[in-house]
A and B are shown apart, each in its own frame.
Chain A
Amino acid sequence: MGLPLMMERSSNNNNNNNNVVELSRVAVSDTHGEDSPYFAGWKAYDENPYDESHNPSGVIQMGLAENQVSFDLLETYLEKKNPEGSMWGSKGAPGFRENALFQDYHGLKTFRQAMASFMEQIRGGKARFDPDRIVLTAGATAANELLTFILADPNDALLVPTPYYPGFDRDLRWRTGVKIVPIHCDSSNHFQITPEALESAYQTARDANIRVRGVLITNPSNPLGATVQKKVLEDLLDFCVRKNIHLVSDEIYSGSVFHASEFTSVAEIVESIDDVSVKERVHIVYSLSKDLGLPGFRVGTIYSYNDNVVRTARRMSSFTLVSSQTQHMLASMLSDEEFTEKYIRINRERLRRRYEIIVEGLKKAGIECLKGNAGLFCWMNLGFLLEKKTKDGELQLWDVILKELKLNISPGSSCHCSEVGWFRVCFANMSENTLEIALKRIHKFMDRRRRF
């Protein structure tokens, strides 16, 4: 795990000249992670995308964790309220020019307030968020990288529980030079993080002379589609205090928990603590890409209980500010509490329904999933179908599913899962019809397999 310190330079193939000019080590490394099967499946999809009418036998994209189930709610709101058009030019409201000029890295105050209020609503008011601690970045991608730059030096490590979001390999490591040391989790306890696994990961790093700077979790988890239990969060924070390291909680799917009561944010735990030296090591990442289904708008945020981190992150956000046009549009939408309450509630319901459809459908085909309660995907167990219980075996099966069933799903190995045979299947980025068709293809496949 982790990037070798010295990388061989690959040669540039340019036609133009005698001397091949060098790029940086960062540029020629493959830590951008795009060679992973996680992305290879996307390519297959791009080349042959499913379309209900025009290409019904094309590849169905189930490898992309997008939320498209609640767009109608947003569109209706915008049509009625027209925040952008009405705000620009109306009396007393900031006009176009002011907005177009606004590049203050503090971010629009109204927008930060709206974000804080939205984050509170998602947590059912169980935690308070101070708008002045909100730092805006262009997406959670930038937020995670930025925090890593701030919390760790090159060659230090962050501990990350497996399986984890494949993008972390790039976001946490590529330009920062920081390593990821995995906290191994397995199905024996539903992939929950155990104190033993934590200690073991920490020790592994120490044995390799690597300095651990923090633990980074995703809660609810991607790819598991499950929330982290409160007890586990408390243990984690305890662990971080004992080792004097940071705790980063990426809560990008917090609004996608099917039943609000089942989600405990690390913010709730921090609120009950007075000791500043404990609070100051906790940082939360959030974004509107999943809960609101607006990944194109690049709205990410870092929320830190550490003043120094807030200040530094704010300065660093200069490289990745959120478009003021977008801040302006979303500020009014997110501060409309009537709208957001309705949205959050309906979105949860629709996601839960999708989840039930797919889990039921898979069950009927003889396939079990991890019991999930959040997110835009389910964690499917196909271990019993593997000819070889190895990573290669898993990739072979994945290839079959891609080529024969024309379903792009994500193999657990691309998420660094230590157990083979698990696959992440997204269900919120398509219509219900398409989901049914995907399930039909799976049924057919399973039927065929049973006959042999």
Chain B
Amino acid sequence: MSQGANQLLSKLASSDKHGEASPYFDGWKAYDNNPYHPIHNPHGVIQMGLAENQLCSDLIKEWIRKNPQASICTAQGIDSFSDIAVFQDYHGLKQFRQAIAAFMERARGGRVSFEAERVVMSGGATGANETLMFCLADPGDAFLVPTPYYAAFDRDLRWRTGIRIISVECNSSNNFQVTKQALESTYLKAQETGIKIKGLIIANPSNPLGTSLDRENLESLVSFINDKQIHLVCDEIYAATVFAEPKFISVAEIIQEMVHVNRDLIHIVYSLSKDMGLPGFRVGVVYSYNDAVVSCARKMSSFGLVSSQTQSFVAAMLSDQRFVDNFLVEVSKRVAKRHHMFTEGLEEMGISCLRSNAGLYVLMDLRQMLKAQTFESEIALWRVIINKVKINISPGSSFHCSEPGWFRVCFANMDEDTLQIGLERIKDFVLGDKASKNENYNCICNNKRENKKRKSFQKNLKLSFSSMMYDEHVRSPNLMSPHSPLLRA
């Protein structure tokens, strides 16, 4: 690569705000280099770092088979081909907007209504979040984001927009809930340093917590932003994955009741990537109660419109009310089943998770396995899990968690057998580690099932963790790039 042309790129292009140096992605690399396969590569890395929903694709496939007219490429649907192929109006197909609005309503139990005219397309929720930042904030302005938060927010909210993220720290003492005090003090501190806070962005249900906000908490957040007259962006991408109390409460519901709130401050981000498991189709939605934002976001959607082919297909599928209602019931049920299977399996080996009621993952508590309550220890443990246990999970630090020792583990992006194997590996790791103080990894490869509950694990975990395991991986070639944001944590 020549020097001359290299200096020719923009500052934005040369920065690392694309965020790929984060360990969040290093684990993916390990998986890419050695992916698990039940037959061809049974000792490969199992991907548990990817929050995908593969639980309901059979329902969608069945619908597709029964509805060939929904595709513009089949004999039954070809007559629509040319009209759809030329359609690039950034308002989107009317039937698409209507179907999305209806789907969003049903995912909220019909407790709120959404106007099709406010549905604005974007390149996935990735595009939606960035678009809202472009609309609501100038370079140098800031948005408050409670920690831990979705790792890619660093890129999506900041990279091209030039806005800053100010973390609102949450901790496990109250299950990582955002408190009014934390919000107020963070806001105040930022103001004192002259930073202009334009809004608060939350994911509800949360990634990586897997929890949804109860009414009181959500009302409190809305009061806070209304009080400060700053924006509230609610990323509700996991809305349909809620499987236990509290039932999902959308910010849309709250503002129905809190009539004095300035609706111009309220914006929702949605997508079909998680609830429906269609990330490839890039169906993102910006839904704003602010007319000017709808108008602006719509213009900006030119940079990330949903393929009309996909709009057409989604419109047909989501207008099928019977299909939608059944689908929503099944998503919730199947996520619940996986969740229980995984958390119970972990409980049996003395590992607990943050209590959660939504999402495609859990936040696993491995604090007691840390050599020291530091992020270095967290990363060292994480490397052992990737390299020796061969599962890709995400360390809490990649989500800017303020406490070391938490790991997000996804459970919906594989079949049940693979999930079981993942559990087995964790079990062997934990047991094998307890059984031998010396470094001996034979038992990790040993897939013997152990049925006895061993509650005594819990208190022995810290003591039994072999210090040699740590040292080996602290010295081994660095999986992390030397400029990983972790080092600044």
A127 part of interface (Cβ distance < 8 Å): no
Identify the stretch in B75-83, B235-243, B430-438, B468-476 within 8 Å (CB) of chain A at 4 or more residues: B75-83
Identify the stretch in B104-112, B304-312, B388-396 within 8 Å (CB) of chain A at 4 or more residues: B304-312
A189 part of interface (Cβ distance < 8 Å): no
From A95, which residue of chain B is reached at the shortest CB distance?
B61
Identify the stretch in A194-202, A229-237, A249-257, A306-314 within 8 Å (CB) of chain B at 4 or more residues: A306-314
A74 part of interface (Cβ distance < 8 Å): yes
Q: Which of B305-328 touch A at CB < 8 Å?
A: 305-310, 313
B166 part of interface (Cβ distance < 8 Å): no
Task: Find out whether the CB atom of B1 lies under 8 angstroms from the CB atom of A280.
Answer: yes
Query: Chain A, 61-79, contact with B by CB distance < 8 Å: what is the 0/1 string?
Result: 0000010100100110011
* Residues of the B chain whose Cβ atoms lie less than 8 Å from the Cβ of A34: 299
Task: Find out whether the CB atom of A24 lies under 8 angstroms from the CB atom of B313.
Answer: no
From B273, which residue of chain A is reached at the shortest CB distance?
A103
Task: Find out whether the CB atom of B78 lies under 8 angstroms from the CB atom of A79.
Answer: yes
CA distance A394 to B215 in the complex (A): 60
Q: Which of B4, B84, B293 lies in contact with A23, CB distance below 8 A? A: B293
Asked if A293 meets B85 with Cβ closer than 8 Å, knowing A34-B299, A139-B305, the reply is yes
Query: Chain B, 64-91, contact with A by CB distance < 8 Å: what is the 0/1 string?
Result: 1000100111110010011011111000
Task: Find out whether the CB atom of B5 lies under 8 angstroms from the CB atom of A151.
Answer: no
From A150, which residue of chain B is reached at the shortest CB distance?
B13
B60 part of interface (Cβ distance < 8 Å): yes
Q: Which of B216-239 touch A at CB < 8 Å?
A: 229, 231
B123 part of interface (Cβ distance < 8 Å): yes
Query: Chain A, 97-110, contact with B by CB distance < 8 Å: what is the 0/1 string?
Result: 10111110000000
Asked if A100 meets B281 with Cβ closer than 8 Å, knowing A16-B263, A75-B82, the reply is yes
Least CB distance from A304 to B in Å reads 11
Q: Which of A78, A293, A309 lies in contact with B78, CB distance below 8 A? A: A78
Task: Find out whether the CB atom of A83 lies under 8 angstroms from the CB atom of B73.
Answer: yes
CA distance A244 to B7 in the complex (A): 10
From A84, which residue of chain B is reached at the shortest CB distance?
B73
CA distance A277 to B8 in the complex (A): 11
Task: Find out whether the CB atom of A12 lies under 8 angstroms from the CB atom of B302.
Answer: no
* Residues of the B chain whose Cβ atoms lie less than 8 Å from the Cβ of A153: 10-12
CA distance A14 to B307 in the complex (A): 32
Asked if A175 meets B73 with Cβ closer than 8 Å, knowing A96-B64, A102-B280, the reply is no
Task: Find out whether the CB atom of A308 lies under 8 angstroms from the CB atom of B64.
Answer: no
Identify the stretch in B132-140, B179-187, B370-378, B442-450 within 8 Å (CB) of chain A at 4 or more residues: B132-140
Query: Chain A, 36-72, contact with B by CB distance < 8 Å: what is the 0/1 string?
Result: 0000000000000000000000000000001010010
CA distance A151 to B13 in the complex (A): 8
Asked if A82 meets B73 with Cβ closer than 8 Å, knowing A74-B81, A97-B57, A329-B309, the reply is yes
A324 part of interface (Cβ distance < 8 Å): yes
Chain A interface category by residue count = 35 or more
Identify the stretch in A25-33, A114-122, A355-363 within 8 Å (CB) of chain B at 4 or more residues: A25-33
Least CB distance from B119 to A in Å reads 17
B173 part of interface (Cβ distance < 8 Å): no
Task: Find out whether the CB atom of B264 lies under 8 angstroms from the CB atom of A82.
Answer: no
CA distance A246 to B160 in the complex (A): 20
Please give the number of chain B residues whose Cβ is less than 8 angstroms from any Cβ of chain A in the complex: 79
A213 part of interface (Cβ distance < 8 Å): yes
Q: Which of A213, A294, A316 lies in contact with B160, CB distance below 8 A? A: A316
Q: Which of A212-258 touch B at CB < 8 Å?
A: 213, 244-246
Q: Which of A24, A295, A329 lies in contact with B86, CB distance below 8 A? A: A295
Query: Chain B, 53-67, contact with A by CB distance < 8 Å: what is the 0/1 string?
Result: 010010011001000
CA distance A89 to B62 in the complex (A): 11
Q: Which of B8, B81, B160, B277 lies in contact with A101, CB distance below 8 A? A: B277
Q: Which of B54, B61, B130, B292 lies in contact with A12, CB distance below 8 A? A: B292
CA distance A296 to B388 in the complex (A): 48
What number of A-B contacts does a CB cutoff of 8 Å give?
251
Task: Find out whether the CB atom of B307 lies under 8 angstroms from the CB atom of A298.
Answer: yes
B41 part of interface (Cβ distance < 8 Å): no
A17 part of interface (Cβ distance < 8 Å): yes
CA distance A377 to B155 in the complex (A): 40
* Residues of the B chain whose Cβ atoms lie less than 8 Å from the Cβ of A103: 124, 273, 279-280, 282
Task: Find out whether the CB atom of A24 lies under 8 angstroms from the CB atom of B136.
Answer: yes
Least CB distance from B458 to A in Å reads 37
CA distance A318 to B64 in the complex (A): 27
CA distance A23 to B396 in the complex (A): 33
B291 part of interface (Cβ distance < 8 Å): yes
Least CB distance from A108 to B in Å reads 9
CA distance A213 to B10 in the complex (A): 9
A19 part of interface (Cβ distance < 8 Å): yes
* Residues of the B chain whose Cβ atoms lie less than 8 Å from the Cβ of A84: 71, 73-74
From B263, which residue of chain A is reached at the shortest CB distance?
A16
Q: Which of B5, B138, B229 lies in contact with A19, CB distance below 8 A? A: B229
* Residues of the A chain whose Cβ atoms lie less than 8 Å from the Cβ of B268: none
B126 part of interface (Cβ distance < 8 Å): yes
Q: Which of B73, B291, B304, B306 lies in contact with A78, CB distance below 8 A? A: B73
Task: Find out whether the CB atom of B126 lies under 8 angstroms from the CB atom of A318.
Answer: yes
Task: Find out whether the CB atom of B9 lies under 8 angstroms from the CB atom of A21.
Answer: no
* Residues of the A chain whose Cβ atoms lie less than 8 Å from the Cβ of B299: 32, 34, 170
Task: Find out whether the CB atom of A308 lies under 8 angstroms from the CB atom of B309.
Answer: no
Task: Find out whether the CB atom of B307 lies under 8 angstroms from the CB atom of A26.
Answer: no
CA distance A97 to B310 in the complex (A): 15
Q: Which of B151-198 touch A at CB < 8 Å?
A: 155-156, 159-160
* Residues of the A chain whose Cβ atoms lie less than 8 Å from the Cβ of B123: 138, 142, 318-321
Shortest 5 CB-CB contacts between residues of A and residues of B: A324-B280, A296-B308, A280-B5, A323-B307, A84-B73
- Contacts A27-B293, A82-B75, A296-B86 given; 5 further ones with Cβ under 8 A? A16-B262, A89-B61, A103-B279, A277-B2, A322-B282
A-B contact pairs, 30 of them (CB 8 A): A12-B290, A16-B262, A16-B263, A21-B265, A32-B296, A97-B54, A100-B279, A102-B280, A138-B303, A138-B304, A150-B9, A171-B303, A175-B300, A175-B303, A277-B2, A280-B2, A293-B86, A296-B308, A297-B307, A298-B88, A298-B307, A308-B5, A316-B160, A318-B155, A319-B126, A319-B156, A319-B160, A322-B307, A324-B282, A326-B310
